[in-house]
């Protein structure tokens, strides 16, 4: 669905959209009234806990739960034997196996049994009574090691047809994108560099652990409350695992204390449902922080080879990357997205990426904002920076010279429509930050980033209440301000004050299918459906006004929150406001509502440029972030406060990824830092204020020009920080995180 008139959009003066209205969830959250996953309770509720494997890789020979079941206060124990096997859907079968191990425990923390009891103390005591006979197997946690001949094998026969014969059984898929002739392009270069870059897995670091409350009745009908980014996904997945009809399971999303992609799958929910079915009682489950880090999905770790050729005037002649991502113990690492996005910011005649999806003895990866893209951008942007500086060229000018623009054939296939990369680069070059002086041991880094954005199944209903207020019902958990944005777009379209609209997140029984809140889709897709729902309501209200006035429906138009005669021939009727039409709705046909469902195309890709100054302590290797500025195209910033927050949040998470955050596994395959004391995320005192510059290049696929903004902001920081630190240290670093010991080692090697 495209803009009706692109020029009209560019000159349109919005009244509500683009302002900084009060956020609707603010009071509830600061007063503690908001109900998160762990706040849910039910009469007769049991508490459940999970027994997890202490081994990185082990065959489960037997499980004896009899002593636990005999413990007073224990009402039920489940193992994999309590679930039906799934043979017709490998994806769902893998999710079940991740929720409850079958023949093998595949990573440290893999669930093998669960207990429901009267209290936390009894449940934990019961876990100690469960006897599991393990046959410990060799393990592998490094992606390159997992690809070697003779590496421990997690699964036999899972590789798809894209994988060449003779490769390790741990390599499950191969992806390739690009065009042109790499070797011919490299031959035209004045310099070619080849580098290998490595990144460690990092966790999304949401403050709220996973939690759910399940209640299944004897009639097979069930209710589930959980913290999630997509309760329709939870319904569909759990119904498939439990052998239920989707309509038998109603899922309600709680407020969410952070997700960032990590709450786009299920971990506890099928287990809670199985325990509720077995005990005929409601069952509540809440993860500890250790469980979150050991057993839920971090992002992938990566090993990437890059080969790029450049002329002395900064023209990239050819670019190649081979990306190896491990996605934990199951197929589905984000290497496909990494391969697609690696060179997406550039207009290249000769480009190719090859990606390998590899399994290791780690927890199944989950999305982390733009999944797969930050690692790819880190490698590519580091190599481009090294080439530019090797020729003594301005790194921003080199990126501008090679930047993708409208009409560029993207490295992954399509031709770009109107995009904002060039605008972000020019804004960065003109910004005072770029010209600011640097001191000793300080460096400045820049990098570009890209994300696809998408639409997905969407369903919205807009109801006009009898007193003229408006309720928007949508099916996506609010993780980035969507309730405010939907209310603003509805108010804009209806011509009424923002305060007159309330947006709620409906349960799965109230609306049609809605895609997960991910992919930077909600403001675009749900916003589009909200606008169309408002337009449907306006048409109905014009029809009602026509009935009151006794004129034809097409003789009425909607302006400034009221129905007006469309012209002098329609009569001189005074405008009927939305409230006036709502007040007489019962006499003109009944309740008034607008509804829209769609799977919209035209989400519009997103680009950003980041700039950062760092200082390296030559005695300790510690890195300090001095200044950080984000330049990103939002299409149209519906609520600038939220947009700036998304820019800043992505930058901060990328800074943590670049400098400190990493999964550390011992030689025994056990996670060594399963807590926030040892897994170091940035806090406010580690950071300056993140400055933001919002660019608005309208997306022609949305009525208001909106593009998603939630994911692109995490793509450039890894490379921008690495480029800055490499300049400050005087030595190029090629492995993340750049923790003080690694920086100090690089300084000493220099």
pLDDT at 750: 82
CATH 3.90.1170.50 region(s) of the chain?
44-137+208-257+263-295
Tell how far CA 603 is from the center of its chain: 15
Token pair for 89? 């859907």
Q: Which residue positions in the chain have pLDDT lower than 50?
A: 1-7
The arrangement of secondary structure in 26-32+455-598, i.e. its CATH architecture, is 2-Layer Sandwich (3.30)
User: Strand, helix or coil at 148?
Assistant: coil
Straight-line distance from the first to the last Cα atom of the chain, in angstroms, rounded to the nearest whole number: 56
List of residues 6+ apart from 710 with CB closer than 8 A:
369, 479, 480, 520, 646, 650
Whether this prediction's pTM lies above 0.75 is answered by yes
**Which stretch of DSSP H or E encloses residue 377?**
helix 373-390
CA distance 461 to 596: 7
As a CATH number, domain 301-453+604-748 is 3.30.365.10
Q: What is the largest CA-CA distance in the chain?
A: 87
Bridge partner list, 307 = 194, 320
Which residues are CB-neighbours of 626 under 8 A, at least 6 positions away?
442, 613, 614, 615, 688
pLDDT at 7: 46
What pLDDT was estimated at residue 568?
87
Nearest-angstrom CA–CA distance, 594 and 463: 6
User: Around 220, how many Cα atoms within 13 Å sit in the side-chain half-sphere?
Assistant: 8
Q: At what angle do helices 373-390 and 640-659 cross, to 10 degrees?
A: 70
User: Do residues 576 and 565 lie in contact, with contact meaning Cβ atoms separated by under 8 Å?
Assistant: no
Distance, in Å, from the CA atom of 315 to the CA atom of 400, rounded to the nearest integer, reads: 10
Regarding the domain with residue range 44-137+208-257+263-295, which homologous superfamily does it belong to in the CATH classification?
A: Aldehyde oxidase/xanthine dehydrogenase, a/b hammerhead (3.90.1170.50)
Q: Is 312 in contact with 391 (CB distance < 8 Å)? A: yes
Q: Report whether 168 contacts 151 (CB < 8 A).
A: yes
- Check residue 2 and give its pLDDT: 42
- From 361, 360, 347, 294, select the one nearest 319 (Cα to Cα): 347
Where exactly does CATH 3.30.365.10 map onto the chain? 26-32+455-598, 301-453+604-748
């Amino acid at each position: 669905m495209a803009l009706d008139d692109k020029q009209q959009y560019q000159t349109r003066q919005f009244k509500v959209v683009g302002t900084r209205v009060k956020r609707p969830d603010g009071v509830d959250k600061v007063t503690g009234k908001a109900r998160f996953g762990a706040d849910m309770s039910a009469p007769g509720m049991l508490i459940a806990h999970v027994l997890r494997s202490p081994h990185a890789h082990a065959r489960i020979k037997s499980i004896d739960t009899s002593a636990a079941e005999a413990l007073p206060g224990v009402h039920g124990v489940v193992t994999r034997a309590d679930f039906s096997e799934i043979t017709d859907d490998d994806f769902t079968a893998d999710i079940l196996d991740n929720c409850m191990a079958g023949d093998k425990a595949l990573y440290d923390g893999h669930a093998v049994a669960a207990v429901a009891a009267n209290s936390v103390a009894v449940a934990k005591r019961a876990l100690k009574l469960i006897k599991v006979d393990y046959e410990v197997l060799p393990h592998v946690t490094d992606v390159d090691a997992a690809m070697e001949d003779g590496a421990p094998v997690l699964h036999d026969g899972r590789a798809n047809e894209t994988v060449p014969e003779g490769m390790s059984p741990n390599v499950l898929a191969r992806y390739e994108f690009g065009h042109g002739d790499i070797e011919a392009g490299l031959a035209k270069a004045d310099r070619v560099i080849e580098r290998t870059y490595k990144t460690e897995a990092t966790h999304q670091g949401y403050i709220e652990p996973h939690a759910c409350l399940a209640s299944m009745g004897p009639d097979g009908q069930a209710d589930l409350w959980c913290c999630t980014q997509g309760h329709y996904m939870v319904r569909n997945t759990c119904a498939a695992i439990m052998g239920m009809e989707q309509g038998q399971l109603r899922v309600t999303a709680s407020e969410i204390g952070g997700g960032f992609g990590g709450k786009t799958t299920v971990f506890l929910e099928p287990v809670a449902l199985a325990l509720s079915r077995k005990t005929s009682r409601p069952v509540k489950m809440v993860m500890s922080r250790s469980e979150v880090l050991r057993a839920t999905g971090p992002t992938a770790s990566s090993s990437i080879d890059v080969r790029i050729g450049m002329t002395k005037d900064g023209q990239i002649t050819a670019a190649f990357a081979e990306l190896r991502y491990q996605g934990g113990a199951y197929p589905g690492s984000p290497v496909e997205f990494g391969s697609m996005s690696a060179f997406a910011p550039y207009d290249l005649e000769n480009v190719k990426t090859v990606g390998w999806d590899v399994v290791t003895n780690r927890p199944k990866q989950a999305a982390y904002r733009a999944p797969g893209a930050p690692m790819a951008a880190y490698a590519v942007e580091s190599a481009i920076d090294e080439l530019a500086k090797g020729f003594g060229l301005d790194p921003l000018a080199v990126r501008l010279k090679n930047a993708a623009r409208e009409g560029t054939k993207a490295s992954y296939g399509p031709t770009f429509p109107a995009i904002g990369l060039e605008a972000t680069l020019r804004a960065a070059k003109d910004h005072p930050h770029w010209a600011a002086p640097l001191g000793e041991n300080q460096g400045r880094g820049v990098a570009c980033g890209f994300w696809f954005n998408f639409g997905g199944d969407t369903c919205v209903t807009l109801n006009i209440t009898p007193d003229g207020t408006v309720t928007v019902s949508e099916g996506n958990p609010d993780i980035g301000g969507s309730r405010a944005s939907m209310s603003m777009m509805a108010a804009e379209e209806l011509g009424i004050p923002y305060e007159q609209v309330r947006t709620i997140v409906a349960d799965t029984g109230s609306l049609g299918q809605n895609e997960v809140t991910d992919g930077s889709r909600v403001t675009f897709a749900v916003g589009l459906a909200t606008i169309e729902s408002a337009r449907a309501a306006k048409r109905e209200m014009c029809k009602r006004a026509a009935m009151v006035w006794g004129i034809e429906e097409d003789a009425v138009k909607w302006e400034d929150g009221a129905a007006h005669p469309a012209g002098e021939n329609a009569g001189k009727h005074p405008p009927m406001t939305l409230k006036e039409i709502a007040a007489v709705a019962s006499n003109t046909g009944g309740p008034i509502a607008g509804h829209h469902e769609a799977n919209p195309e035209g989400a519009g890709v997103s680009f950003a440029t980041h700039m950062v100054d760092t200082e390296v302590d030559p005695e300790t290797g510690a890195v300090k972030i001095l200044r950080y500025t984000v330049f990103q195209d939002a299409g149209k910033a519906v609520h600038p406060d939220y947009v700036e927050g998304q820019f800043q949040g992505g930058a901060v998470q990328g800074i943590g990824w670049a400098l400190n955050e990493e999964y550390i596994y011992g030689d025994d395959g056990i996670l060594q830092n399963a807590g926030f004391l040892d897994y170091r995320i940035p806090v406010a005192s580690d950071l300056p204020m993140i400055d933001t510059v919002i660019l608005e290049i309208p997306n022609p696929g949305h009525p208001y020009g909106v593009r998603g903004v939630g994911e692109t902001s995490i793509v450039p920081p890894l490379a921008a920080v690495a480029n800055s630190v490499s300049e400050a240290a005087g030595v190029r670093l090629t492995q993340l995180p750049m923790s003080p010991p690694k920086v100090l080692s690089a300084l000493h090697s220099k």
